[in-house]
Chains A and B, each alone.
Chain A
Amino acid sequence: DTGVSQNPRHKITKRGQNVTFRCDPISEHNRLYWYRQTLGQGPEFLTYFQNEAQLEKSRLLSDRFSAERPKGSFSTLEIQRTEQGDSAMYLCASSPGLAVGRETQYFGPGTRLLVL
């Protein structure tokens, strides 16, 4: 059983650098979500895709953040000019996308980013 995978699992970068994370959803899942989680808090929604279309973006997703899902399969989340406040766990989730609302989301292990 292949679940949601994320790479890299850990990333340390210096302030001002750009970073890119990759998420591979469960095969044939049409919906893909990105969340951010800081220490001691629950995950916060960032954005989600239905196939290749980005349907919603949170206000948390500043213009330094960009997410893509070019062929409706894997997705990338890029952070430009990283800031120390970007240090967090970035979680990806996917769901089948066959129902309206209330689908179980399957989360990956996350990418932990540390900005020095």
Chain B
Amino acid sequence: LAKTTQPISMDSYEGQEVNITCSHNNIATNDYITWYQQFPSQGPRFIIQGYKTKVTNEVASLFIPADRKSSTLSLPRVSLSDTAVYYCLVVPKAAGNKLTFGGGTRVLVKP
């Protein structure tokens, strides 16, 4: 199972773009990259998932270079409510469907 490494914490200001990079050097061919968001005292919430290049939804964008050894979650124009922990996960095609979370990145958005 590919291990992920991401910054422990990041600070930002309202209206800025936040980019969180995750490294996953040992990612396997069938693995996908998935990001979850977790607010205090709540369960994690799925944000975005991708395999390669770029994926965009109404919440975020996910950039994955050709070698897939890293990925970057981009949150455009953050607000105070985006303060949360963001988890990068590598999800194998066949892993018993369990998710393996690391420590996540604590993003603090300041006014």
Contacts and interface: CB of A to CB of B under 8 A. Distances in A.
A112 B42 CA distance: 10
Contacts of B34: 102
Contacts of B42: 107, 109-110
Contacts of A33: 97-99
Contacts, number: 65
A67 interface: no
Given A101-B92, A101-B93, A48 B44 contact: no
| Size category, B interface | 20 to 34
A5 to B, nearest CB: 11
- Is chain B's interface secondary structure helix, strand, loop, or mixed overall? loop
B66 interface: no
A60 B102 CA distance: 16
B41 A110 contact: yes
A36 to B, nearest CB: 11
Given A42-B85, A48-B98, 15 more contacts: A4-B43, A33-B98, A42-B87, A43-B44, A45-B99, A55-B96, A56-B96, A56-B98, A58-B98, A95-B97, A101-B94, A103-B97, A107-B43, A110-B41, A110-B43
Interface of B: 32, 34, 41-46, 49, 85, 87, 91-104
